[in-house]
Amino acid sequence: MTRRELLGTVGAMGAGAAIGPSHAAADDHGKTADGHGKAADNKMMAPPGNHHLHFCGIHCAKKDPRIQIITQHYCGMVGKGMHQCLLYDAVGKGARLLGVEYIVADEIYQKLPDVEKKYWHPHTYEVLGGGLIAPSMKPEDEMAFMKGLLLTWGKTWHTWPDPTTPVPMGEPMLMWSLTGDGQDDPNVIAARDKEFAVSTADVRKKRIEAVGFDVPAVPQPKDVDVIGRQWTASGADRPTPARKK
């Protein structure tokens, strides 16, 4: 994805921002170098060709937040205000397909019935706390992208719950996000930082300064029926301005 494609779609998710190109960008996938590929080839390749926006996050199981998995997201837009992502355990060839995630703007999430909201997790802490990174982007593009992702919500199912097993075993697992300090597994964070040569602490500092809000303080859900909150554990669910240093 070019910088123009990325930034040209910012704002398409309403309260959030777009996090990838439109279907039109994927329609060219499968054509030959001279642009005259067969229409049938384009139709067959268009769906996977629309999942070329990459970012990395750490998913935890809603039923047991101690289960934490570094997850590679490959996403594309589908309709206004929504993206769909293919999730993998690695970035190289042979990576295992862990599951899927759907990402929607806050204005879409807020209109969902409560019985549905329990499946959706917030991205606020992941963005501000440095849990989400986009290593293939330039720093300024990554920051713009993360600002757009800040208020969005994700619905994630891992159909390969334990990627260490030779084949997918067991039922699909509803995944959640880190929503406050002290919830992350330091070993998982360290492994992710080492792989992509980043510092979560440094990313966190820069994000807070750029966005102007402190990290959320929301506890992990005690059961799968808990509805997610973006910023606080109780009261008005509003952000806390970052403290000036």
User: What is the spatial distance between Cα 147 and Cα 16, in angstroms, rounded to a whole number?
Assistant: 8
Tokens representing 64 are 């047991």
User: What is the spatial distance between Cα 118 and Cα 99, in angstroms, rounded to a whole number?
Assistant: 18
- Residues 6 or more apart whose Cβ sits within 8 Å of residue 183: 60, 65, 220
Greatest pairwise CA separation for the chain in angstroms: 59
pLDDT value of position 42:
62
Write down the pTM of the prediction. Answer: 0.85
C-alpha dihedral (131, 134, 101, 76), degrees to nearest 10: 160
Residues 128, 101 contacting (CB under 8 angstroms): no
Residues 77, 57 contacting (CB under 8 angstroms): no
Condensed to tens digits (0 to 9), the pLDDT of residues 64-117 reads 999 999 999 999 999 889 999 999 999 999 999 999 999 999 999 999 999 999
Condensed to tens digits (0 to 9), the pLDDT of residues 155-199 reads 999 999 999 999 999 999 999 999 999 999 999 999 999 999 999
Sorted by where each begins, the domain ranges of the chain are 53-211
- Residues 6 or more apart whose Cβ sits within 8 Å of residue 215: 125, 128, 129, 180, 181, 204, 208
